[in-house]
Amino acid sequence: FATIGIIGAMEEEINLLLAGMDDKQTEQHAGITYHRGFFQGKKVVLTRSGVGKVNAAVCTQILIDRYRAEAILFTGVAGAVDPKLNIGDIVISASSLQHDVDVTALGFPRGTIPYQDVSEYAADAFLIAAASEAGERIFPGRCYQGKVLSGDQFIAERGVVQSLYEQFGGACTEMEGAAVAQTCFMNGIPHVIIRSMSDKADGSAHVNFAEFTVEASNRSYAIIEEMMKSL
């Protein structure tokens, strides 16, 4: 890939990457900050999208149009949905969907965008393999491939997280991944989402999120750092 786009939603999620970049140049588009430069000798554009699906989609389209990103990596934290996952575990997206799309009143299944062939977006097989191999090397037994559920909601309720698991069989929930994935799909650009669990999306989620976001962000970063060697 000539240029790799790397997105995190929050400051904590991009800090270490930013610190590791050389020859940085910073620019703003649509109120979003883009840092171009080199990471491990590879040309990258690092950006903090801001939280939520609209920010993530706009950010991704700009990476593709203005910066000619040929692959997009998302790094950050998520709430665990699959009960087997613990705080600190890592999910590499096999696919992602928007769990908050609800046109059930018109007979469409939850999460399905009407009149569209695809509502669940597969990540790129090569990028999944690169992330999984890197993850296994540095956090053995703590990396899982799974479905990422995105929505403009911070999930912090046991009943809600259980229903997400039952309805979608999701691995984790966050607020940007599927928007990045859909934008990449619409443009024919490969992507993968890498998320470390900061909480379990239950009644303790807000407390755990505050406590574990930095550590979880750093784990996700460590995988990006390791996988870059094979890109």
If one counts every other C-beta atom within 10 angstroms of the C-beta of residue 201, the result is: 30
| 3-state secondary structure at position 191 | strand
**Taking phi first (over 0 means left), then psi (-120 to 50 degrees means alpha), and beta for anything else, what does residue 68 get?**
left
32 vs 216 by CB, closer to ligand ADE? 216
Q: Does 209 bind ligand ADE (CB under 6 A)?
A: yes
Q: Of these, 63, 178, 205, 228, which contacts ligand ADE (CB under 6 A)?
A: 205
Q: Which of 110, 101, 205 is nearest to 157 (CA)?
A: 205
Segment 168-187, which members bind ligand ADE (CB under 6 A)?
173-175
| Active site amino acids | 13, 199
Q: Does 90 bind ligand ADE (CB under 6 A)?
A: no
Beta strands in the chain (DSSP E): 4-8, 22-29, 32-39, 42-48, 71-80, 90-98, 120-122, 143-150, 172-174, 191-199
- Choices 10-18, 60-68, 135-143, 197-205; region in contact with ligand ADE by CB under 6 A: 197-205
- Choices 87-95, 110-118, 121-129, 198-206; region in contact with ligand ADE by CB under 6 A: 198-206
99 vs 191 by CB, closer to ligand ADE? 99
87 vs 228 by CB, closer to ligand ADE? 87
